[in-house]
Amino acid sequence: MRRIDTIHLTWSFYGSRKVALELRKEGNLINLKRVQRLMRLMGLESLAPKPDTSKPAPEHPVYPYLSRNRAISRPNQVWAADISVPQISGVKDEGRSLAVGLQEQIANHRKRLGSKALVVSVAEKVP
């Protein structure tokens, strides 16, 4: 139990499986169920994320998708922001930065639309 405690203090994100592996590496003949029982008895628990940690909090609002039944037929009818583009500063593509290439694509898109607006995908927040 003392050795399990020192392993848990050193690597607090280790669960019972990794603790059992560490003990076996040291030459201790110990099985997983015994490590689980001793950790439960000692009140030790891994600090690693548990299941269902990506579920949204119930108090957070869910925004409706406002463009569901709307026919988008002209520029400036729908405005949105696309935040799915990863950070691209410092990355080179054919000798130029990707940020410059992205600016050129936006400019070309604006020319095709004939307006100053850039219509980008509208994201829907779902429960």
Residues 73 and 107 in one domain: yes
> Does residue 56 fall inside a structural domain?
no
Which secondary structure element, helix H or strand E, spans residue 107, and what is its range? Answer: helix 98-113
Q: What confidence tier does 123 reach under pLDDT thresholds 50, 70, 90?
A: very low
Burial 99-125 (b: 16+ CB within 10 A, else e): eeeeeeeeeeeeeeeeeeebbbebeee
Check whether residue 34 and residue 69 sit in a common domain: no
Total structural domains in the chain?
A: 2
Provide the angle, in degrees to the nearest 10, between the axes of the packed helices 2-10 and 16-25: 110
Does residue 26 share a domain with residue 79? no
- 69 and 119: one domain? yes
d(CA 16, CA 40): 10
The answer on 82 and 38 residing in a single domain is no
Q: What is the pLDDT of residues 55-89, one digit of tens each?
A: 888 898 888 887 788 888 888 777 765 555 444 45
The answer as to whether 54 is a domain residue is: no
The residue segments making up the domain with residue 20 are 2-42
Residue 12 predicted with pLDDT over 70: yes
Q: Is residue 75 part of a domain?
A: yes
Indicate if 35 and 79 belong to the same structural domain. Answer: no
In a domain, 31, yes or no: yes
**Is residue 48 included in any domain, yes or no?**
no
Residue 17 lies in a domain: yes
Q: What is the average per-residue pLDDT within 31-56?
A: 89
